[in-house]
Amino acid sequence: MTQFSFPKGFRVAGVACGLKPNNLLDFAMIVSDVPCMTAGVFTTNMVKAAPVLLGIERLAGFSDAIRAVAINTGCANAATGEHGLQNARATAKAVGDKLGVDEHHVLVMSTGVIGTQLPMDKIRHGIDLAVEQLGDDWQSTAKAIMTTDTVHKMASVMVDTPDGSYTIAGIAKGAGMIAPNMATMLSVIVTDAKLAPGQAQMMLRQANDQTFNCITVDGDMSTNDTVLLLANGMSNVTIDTESAYVRFLDGLVSVCKQLAQGIARDGEGATKLVEINITGAFDDASARKIADAVATSPLVKTAIYGGDPNWGRIMAAAGRAGVAFDPNRAVLCIAKGVDFYRIEKLSTGLVIFANGTGTDYAEADAKAIFAEDEITIILDLNIGTGLASVWTCDMSHDYISINSHYRS
């Protein structure tokens, strides 16, 4: 992992309060020394968890005053009715009371099993422990929000400007139930840059559309998806010009992209990170439909797991996306590695389909690419300028094992 940069004025903690067995870290807190300009994007699932409903409500009235975020694992507090919403409010109040801040300036996030109520005695214990341990241990904080994740996910970038430097840093969790819009994932991103009202929400949506909304593991959308951006301004660097806006957005996209790729790479039972690039479509929307069809195809994902460069499955998935294109003009290429975003040339990989059929490629060369841990699939439709990229993973036997016993 690259060096992690610490944004000014934020303290964090990850503790074990009994929500998980074996004294595993299971409760996290992120606190700013001063009020933050805050933005959020949330699941579009009609069944929204209590913390999502509370977060939407709080940001509608207090987006310039948020001081803390508390995150619990083990229980999603989703489909829990009025009792669940009361527990979410009670969690925020307990955090506020302990920190000495207004409860309305506290956001909560939950992840875990749907349909169970929060064990509030353990939540209160977690709050007490977290407040006592607030510091700069971002790694423990990232670990404390994991569920079926196998690795913690954190990223940061320091941005130098003529007026000084600022940091953007974030943590995320997610491994299964991953599909836009958004995915079973939680992420908190913080910065010590100073953002104006409206800037934070606009930039978070732009970054989210390019990153977290471009990942899929299994095509299932969660009840709890939340990404938050908190800006406390303590670097004294203001985003007040067009060039400053572009610079900040680039940094934000970089952090979100690292976290998003980490989620796709750590998909439940996954062994490979896969980037799907569609280029030459009629428009970007058409390209995205095809990319999603390929990325969510169980036949494609299992072929990737088996190291089988089965171009027939890829082309069949593209063809059922509901987007018109001419297979005789399409060119399919595979390549080692990822980050070929918006690629326009196929010279970096192996062409395996063109002129309506498979090419005369060496099967050993194709299998060697599919044996890699990171793979890019590039499909050029040659009918327009539409482009799209999504990140996904393969699907192994372990995905079934994990999800067939999730509650037990």
**pLDDT for residue 342 is more than 50:** no
Question: In this structure, what token pair is assigned to residue 307?
Answer: 């190291």
pLDDT in tens, 122-162: 999 999 999 999 999 999 999 999 987 888 999 999 999 99
Percent residues over pLDDT 90 in the chain = 71
Q: Are residues 115 and 244 in the same domain?
A: yes
Whether 109 contacts 226, CB under 8 Å = yes
What is the pLDDT, as a whole number, of residue 396? Answer: 64
Q: Are residues 168 and 305 in the same domain?
A: no
Averaged confidence pLDDT in the chain: 89
Q: Are residues 342 and 216 in the same domain?
A: no
Q: Are residues 256 and 296 in the same domain?
A: no
**pLDDT for residue 194 is more than 90:** yes
- 174 Rama sector, left if φ>0, alpha if ψ -120 to 50, beta otherwise: left
Q: Are residues 248 and 330 in the same domain?
A: no
What is the pLDDT, as a whole number, of residue 114? Answer: 87
- 115 Rama sector, left if φ>0, alpha if ψ -120 to 50, beta otherwise: left
**pLDDT for residue 346 is more than 80:** no
* Residue that finishes a domain, picked among 265, 286, 319: 265
30: in domain: yes
Q: Are residues 300 and 203 in the same domain?
A: no
CA gap 55, 106 in Å, rounded: 9
Provide the 3-class DSSP secondary structure of residue 328: coil
2: in domain: no
Q: What's the rounded mean pLDDT across residues 45-58?
A: 93
1: in domain: no
Q: In the structure, what pLDDT confidence band is assigned to residue 222 with cuts at 50, 70 and 90?
A: low
What is the pLDDT, as a whole number, of residue 231? Answer: 98
Residue environment code for 316-347, b if the CB has 16+ CB neighbours within 10 A, otherwise e: ebbeebebebeeeebbbbbbbebebeebeebe
* Structural domain of 287: 273-403
* Residue that finishes a domain, picked among 236, 265, 294: 265
Q: What is the tally of structural domains in the chain?
A: 2
Is pTM, for the whole model, over 0.95?
Answer: no
4: in domain: no
408: in domain: no
Could you check whether the bond before residue 181 is cis, i.e. omega within 30 degrees of 0? Answer: yes
pLDDT in tens, 176-192: 444 444 345 799 999 99
Q: Which amino acid is at 125?
A: H
Q: In the structure, what pLDDT confidence band is assigned to residue 267 with cuts at 50, 70 and 90?
A: low
Q: Are residues 293 and 206 in the same domain?
A: no
Greatest CA span in the chain, whole angstroms?
A: 69
CATH number of residue 238's parent domain: 3.60.70.12
- Start-to-end CA span in the chain (Å): 33
* Residue that finishes a domain, picked among 241, 265, 289: 265
Question: In this structure, what token pair is assigned to residue 39?
Answer: 């933005």
Q: Are residues 230 and 286 in the same domain?
A: no
Q: Are residues 234 and 287 in the same domain?
A: no
232: in domain: yes
What is the pLDDT, as a whole number, of residue 400? Answer: 56
Whether 114 contacts 151, CB under 8 Å = no
Q: Are residues 77 and 175 in the same domain?
A: yes
What is the pLDDT, as a whole number, of residue 336? Answer: 87
CATH number of residue 314's parent domain: 3.10.20.340
Q: Are residues 183 and 200 in the same domain?
A: yes
Provide the 3-class DSSP secondary structure of residue 147: coil
User: Active-site residue among 73, 91, 141, 184?
Assistant: 184
50: in domain: yes
Q: What's the rounded mean pLDDT across residues 248-275?
A: 85
CA gap 56, 60 in Å, rounded: 6
Q: Are residues 236 and 331 in the same domain?
A: no
Whether 217 contacts 295, CB under 8 Å = no
CA gap 238, 401 in Å, rounded: 49
CA gap 401, 398 in Å, rounded: 5
Q: In the structure, what pLDDT confidence band is assigned to residue 268 with cuts at 50, 70 and 90?
A: low
Whether 46 contacts 75, CB under 8 Å = no
Instruction: Considering only residues 104 and 209, tell me which one the structure prediction assigns the higher pLDDT.
Output: 104
CB atoms within 10 A of CB 46: 7
Write down the residue that tokens 């933005």 correspond to.
39
What is the pLDDT, as a whole number, of residue 2? Answer: 62
29: in domain: yes
Is 302 an annotated catalytic residue? no
The DSSP secondary-structure symbol of 183 reads: -
